[in-house]
Structure 1
Amino acid sequence: MTSGSGPDQQVVGADGARALVVIPTYDERENLPLIVSRLHAALPGVHVLVVDDSSPDGTGEVADALAAADDRIQVMHRVEKDGLGKAYLAGFAWGLDHEYQVIIEMDADGSHAPEQLHRLLDAVNAGADLAIGSRYVPGGSLVNWPKRREFLSRGANTYARFALGSSVRDITAGFRAYRRIVLEKIALDTVESAGYCFQIDLAWRTIRAGFDVREVPITFTEREIGTSKMSGGVMTEAFLMVARWGLESRREKISGRRRV
């Protein structure tokens, strides 16, 4: 694929400077301080935006306390819980407005190791427009994940890969780093997906726009505190939308046109 930006310059500093990590939260008051502390121990130059969806457990107040003590941390409070995708879109808009060069998705629950974020940033500095932390490429692994969840995840990725004709092995992954040029180009204002399929949606838009998408191996670890936000409705949305995108792509190829 044609890269939107070449590897002629280091877009992110070795300590994470010029990068923003967007962390959506809902009932993560115990996990949030731990993950932010680990992140800044690994990459002290990175900035953090916590996007809290009015967590009833007080996560927003915990985030405010962290921000008051550290100017590398900002907090966005949203009044309703309307899906992971909407939270990320709000965070992306904030990051673009504040001129960050790379914007990162990372979960608050510890499943994405901050100590491995440098792998994604190294890939971006080497020319990737989107670096995906992948569980399913050589070197990637899963720790303490229930077999049922692994089966569903692998099945969803296989389904998406064949439905879309994509070579990305972990297109549902939520640990990823975007160059700002990608988020500026892929029409975020038209994104409809709100839940599980948000990750597929944005990766697919990035691929179709001709950007350089690379996977790097990570270790994905099941959360120790709290509960997963996955639901049957979210998975049904993903199944139906991926089928639609696949059919649209095939129709466009037949008609000889393509849109982002």
Structure 2
Amino acid sequence: MKYLFSSRPAILAALASVLVAPSALAETSVQFGTGFEYASGEFGATEDTTIYEVPFTVRLKTGNWTFRAKVPLAAIDGPGGVVPGDDNGGERDNSGPGGGGDDDDDDGDGDPTTFAGIDEVGLADVTLSGTYTFNLTDNAYLDTTAKATLPTGDEEKDLGTGETDFAFLAELGTDTDAGGVYVQGGYKQRGGATREDGALALVGGYARLSDGILVGADVSWAEAVVAGGEDLSSATAYTSFRLTDTIRLSLFAEKGLSDASADLAAGVGITWRTNFRRPFERR
């Protein structure tokens, strides 16, 4: 599987061409969002790392296509070797300057290598994605997504991995006036000499309690970021409220189910949007 996605420039070019070529005749809507997120835990190490994040997001929907960009500002405080990101603080390549990872390396003198503490603020890794939705029935859908995480965060400050990652996802779900369920599976190609590619999975559901109020929960899993490490897994509860016809407030709380995940994560978000088919998103 390491060589399945051998041409990164070609993938980026294909994604870029899709971003600029939606049908001019399709109905188009836009969403802007921001918020505040917090995550804390050992992330497979021996000391806690705390991550604060302010994400800025924009989403464009035209016809069956949806395109999304996430630009996060992050603050990280910990022993080093953990970065913000979709891997719930996934380790970066520990062969680079500053090192990291969830195992102590030996520097040849018989003592474990230690890393200076990290207390940094700045731009983290930017994520771009494109999704095509197949409307299977009036209430059932299949989403296929290609996602790229770009190395915009400073690797030496543990604000980014220093690598470009790609993920390919498929989500099958239902969406009705009462609520819905969804299951997602995919594969992530992680850049770097020590970071491992791996499968991803998620399953969840949500209910609309009344007009404008939604609650839901899901459980996620991902293969370990480094060889010999523990798989990532977490459970998340979320809700959203319609403040006006175009503005929604959302909240989420997440509990790690493995030592490699954050012990606890939580966040609040606010979005301005026009009419999207499935009006919920916890991040």
TM value normalised by structure 1 = 0.24
TM value normalised by structure 2 = 0.23
Higher helix share: 1
- Higher relative CO (Cα under 8 Å, sequence separation at least 6) belongs to 1
Higher strand share: 2
